[in-house]
Amino acid sequence: METRLLKGAPVRDAVFAELKAKVARARRRPGLAVILAGDDPASGVYVSHKEKGCDEVGFHHVTHRLPADTTQAALLDLVAQLNDDPAIDGILVQLPLPRGIDQEAVLLAVDPLKDVDGFHPANLGRLVAGNPRFVPCTPKGIIRLLRHYDLPTAGRRVAVVGRSVIVGRPVSLLLSLKGAFGDATVTMCHSATRDLAAVTSACDVVIAALGVPRALGAAHIAPGAVVVDVGINRIADPARPTGERLVGDVDETAVRGRAGALTPVPGGVGPMTIAMLLENTWEAYARVEGLNA
């Protein structure tokens, strides 16, 4: 069976083009503030991609870089300032925060109307209640990708492997909402799931977000299933000049030719996350300006 590759770039490009056109007609530029505390190299890379995305669509953006020994009080002060800043529509606190900082307290301090990452309990609560406002970016991107490639989930059995608040749990909730790209029968799996392969191989769609390189192989995937690989893992690769490469949570070689469709790593879900962050920022801006998003 030929496995269809579900690439994120064309979908991201379409979202960017739409946002760019909206910004061109806007009264002012939507603004995104990013807080980057500490010196985690991966976080630095993610933040630079976000800055680049803002430049591409024409958003105003500011990155606040704080040292690793920043205090909780300093962080909370900065969040309070950004909450009050009318040029800032969206606030993103890049995770993980340095040790010793109470992450929950910082996320809770962000104005829920500027919480474009969707991690504030008020926004997560709305998602649980079936009335979402800001939806976390990676889960929203997964649904958008399925929509773009016309792979509805209604009536399908979907296994989500992982239950983090960033990916697994919110995507499970989204898939259980009403609608053609919801209405799924969702099984949320985690490290205590018994016989994971038996569960996932009985599903029409498998969403892998466990953070274990190439953990899911042919035995986990039913022939023809749609596989969304959220994983981004760095593994050693002496053949590469950098000495490493990115792989997903799915063993692509084992699953190609078996799955009906598969998101590549890199280049599948990854590009969607930034696109959805910018879309959420536009939605925050549109709310302030009284526009239809």
* Options 89, 114, 115, 117, the catalytic residue: 117
Tell me the closest approach of the beta carbon of residue 272 to ligand NDP, in angstroms: 7
Tell me the closest approach of the beta carbon of residue 81 to ligand NDP, in angstroms: 27
Tell me the closest approach of the beta carbon of residue 42 to ligand NDP, in angstroms: 8
* Options 22, 89, 94, 115, the catalytic residue: 94
Catalytic residue list contains 102: no
By beta-carbon proximity to ligand NDP, the closer residue of 30 and 231 is: 231
Residue in 117, 123, 124 with CA at minimum distance from that of residue 97: 117
Catalytic residue list contains 52: no
Paired tokens of 202: 């009985």
Tell me the closest approach of the beta carbon of residue 74 to ligand NDP, in angstroms: 26
Q: Chain-centre distance of CA 36, in angstroms? A: 18
By beta-carbon proximity to ligand NDP, the closer residue of 113 and 159 is: 159
Give me the residues that bind ligand NDP (CB under 6 A), please: 138, 161-164, 166-168, 189-193, 196, 209-212, 215, 230-233, 249, 269-270, 273
By beta-carbon proximity to ligand NDP, the closer residue of 70 and 273 is: 273
In Å, how far are 245, 246, 248 from 239, measured between CA atoms? 10, 13, 18
- Give the dihedral sign, CA 144/148/149/150: positive
Residues 6+ apart with CB under 8 A from 34: 47, 50, 51, 61, 62, 63, 64, 92, 94
Catalytic residue list contains 114: no
* Options 22, 50, 114, 140, the catalytic residue: 50
DSSP-assigned states of every residue in 146-158: HHHTT---TT-EE
Catalytic positions, please?
A: 50, 94, 117
